[in-house]
Structure 1
Amino acid sequence: MAAVLVTAVELAEELIGDRPPVVLDVRWSLAGSDPEGYRAGHVPGSLFVDLDADLAAPVGNGSGGRHPLPDPAALQATWRRVGIRATDGVVVYDADNASAAARAWWLLRWSGLTDVRVLDGGMAAWRAAGLWVKAGSGTPLVPGTVRVRPGGMPTVDADGAAALAAGGALVDARAAARFRGEVEPVDPVAGHIPGAVNVPFTSLVTEDGRFRSADEIGAAFAAVRLRPGTTAAASCGSGVTACHLVLAGAVAGIDLALYPGSWSQWCALGRPVEVG
């Protein structure tokens, strides 16, 4: 299996090598994207990508969820704007735990690129390693020429998610209290897709935002009866942190499809709700 993670020291060495990867900063939280954080200090040579504007389509009437997949032509324009060519390797990172970087990783893979990795521990790990941090804005070194060929990663729609959930094979990345329906800070309905199981994405990383070992991640999935070879998919609130589960699965050798619309689309469609 191709590597999906890279350490800060490894990335620093690659950036001074003969074929440095394109590096993208995708800092974001539920409060929104963080271009100010990027300008205050980033991995040298990295370029900022706005998750809300660049890595999602307009919400429209809400039937596609809060972060619909972007139109392939618009996504191609984004990748070309940051200088990606078909032969380039790409590394993405966010502030720390890959909750946002995983969305960029997934979309790059969905676009047809295969050499895509996530900086394990994000910007926090880069700083902790004592590596040089650059302030200000950035520009791509060369024009991008990559062509988006959507479909490089599997997805399911609401019906497919329902079918998998009925067999306990839809795993929800949200915090346990949100999954159980005890709180819901974002979407209009609390709860989860009937039959879904819960593996909070935060349980798959350490306190410093680095991914746990493949064995530990595999054990977390096995606890909800998901193992290598199981047909399963990941969901969350809007299709962002579900990508983190897909990435974690790749670390552990477990393939997961993505339900892009996730809970926000499920609610908008008026589908049945389960709590507890």
Structure 2
Amino acid sequence: MLRFRVLALSTAFLAGPFLSTARVVQAHDAPQVVSAAWLADHLKDRNLVLLHVGEKAGYDAGHIPGAQYIALADISTPRGEGLTLELPPVERLEVVLEGLGISDDSRIVVYYGKDWVSPATRVIFTLDSLGLGGRTSLLDGGMPAWVANGQPTSAESGTPAKGSLTPRAQATTVDGAWMDANLGKPGHVVVDARNVEFYTGAKAGGRPERNGHIPGAVSIPFDSLLTDAPRFKPERELRAAFAAAGVKDGDRVVAYCHIGQQATVVYVAARVLGYPVVLYDGSFEDWSARGKPVEAAK
């Protein structure tokens, strides 16, 4: 099973106080990618918060007992206020997450319904951006794995008690100005997470549409890191994919895609492998809109 390596940017958040009156999962006790069996064993833990990512109709039809529904729209800048998918102000995220019952001592498990892997990893990235990365896990295989394991589902939903969260913003994103200033510098590997036809220029992307990729970027398509199930491939296969693209030990991965969603699969995989990683949140949409140069694969 995969286990996330918790990078230094997250470890400062691990020392919150814990009550002793009920079983509590402490961040250093729990694996960062959890199995259905692990989750079943910890389902009643006092500080567990479950987040369901997927279609609302799917959540309403049946979800893991106690799970709260979260949509990307809840944790993104509203359309019309910027690019398609950007992190909103920390203050807004704090309100949303507290409304889901998240507190400083919460142990959070994110899971996806059906094949919504990249929306789920976008949620994990968002939690990491607030300093919750060391307390957040992905359910390996999502809802399908839970059901296949013979675990119960529920159609009941309720409003959790409001959480008490102290956000600790982390440097998980870079913007266009940073890209302009740092593109091509040693130690930074820009990774294009889009499907390969967009990288090569066979298909156009961005607004306005452009054929190609950010100059110097390497290609690691997000879906190449996943099995058909879908779930993340074994760590050795992830490491081989990064190495084949030219990522070396000590490199800082700068991931981008169309709008900042698919690239979070690369972001999470990089964390699994221990690479320092950031997300170019505006991604190719921002790059194209600013009229920056692109190159096609040779």
**Quick check: TM above 0.5?**
yes
State how 1:182-261 maps to structure 2 within 5 Å: 182-184=202-204, 187-190=207-210, 191-261=212-282
Kept after mapping to 2: 8 A contact 1:232/1:257: yes
Equivalent residue in structure 2 for 1:117, among 137, 154, 175: 137
| Shift of residue 187, structure 1, vs aligned partner | 4.4
Kept after mapping to 2: 8 A contact 1:205/1:211: yes
Comparing 265-274 with 197-206, greater Cα deviation is found at: 265-274
Kept after mapping to 2: 8 A contact 1:169/1:233: yes
Equivalent residue in structure 2 for 1:100, among 105, 119, 125: 119
CA RMSD of aligned residues (A): 2.0
Report the equivalent of 1:30. Answer: none
Equivalent residue in structure 1 for 2:164, among 111, 127, 145: 145
Kept after mapping to 2: 8 A contact 1:161/1:233: no
| Shift of residue 9, structure 1, vs aligned partner | 1.4
Q: Which amino acid in 1 is paired with 2:154?
A: K
Q: What are the Cα deviations for residues 52-105 of structure 1, in whole angstroms up to 9, with x where unaligned?
A: x2121023364xx31011111111111011000101110111123621111111
Where 1:171 maps in the other structure, the secondary structure is strand
Give structure 1 stretches of 5+ with no counterpart: 28-33
Comparing 160-169 with 4-13, greater Cα deviation is found at: 160-169
Kept after mapping to 2: 8 A contact 1:170/1:233: yes
Identity of paired residues, percent? 39
Report the equivalent of 2:79. Answer: 59
State how 1:141-180 maps to structure 2 within 5 Å: 142-151=161-170, 153-162=171-180, 165-166=183-184, 169-180=189-200
| Shift of residue 206, structure 1, vs aligned partner | 1.0
TM-score by length of 2: 0.82
Kept after mapping to 2: 8 A contact 1:85/1:144: yes
Q: What are the Cα deviations for residues 21-55 of structure 1, in whole angstroms up to 9, with x where unaligned?
A: 2010122xxxxxx211111111111101110x212
After superposition, the Cα gap between the structure-2 partners of 1:42 and 1:164, relative to the gap in structure 1 and judged at 3 Å, is: farther
Report the equivalent of 2:39. Answer: 11
Q: Which amino acid in 2 is paired with 1:194?
A: P
After superposition, the Cα gap between the structure-2 partners of 1:13 and 1:187, relative to the gap in structure 1 and judged at 3 Å, is: farther
Report the equivalent of 1:31. Answer: none
Count of residue pairs brought into register by the alignment:
264
After superposition, the Cα gap between the structure-2 partners of 1:77 and 1:225, relative to the gap in structure 1 and judged at 3 Å, is: same
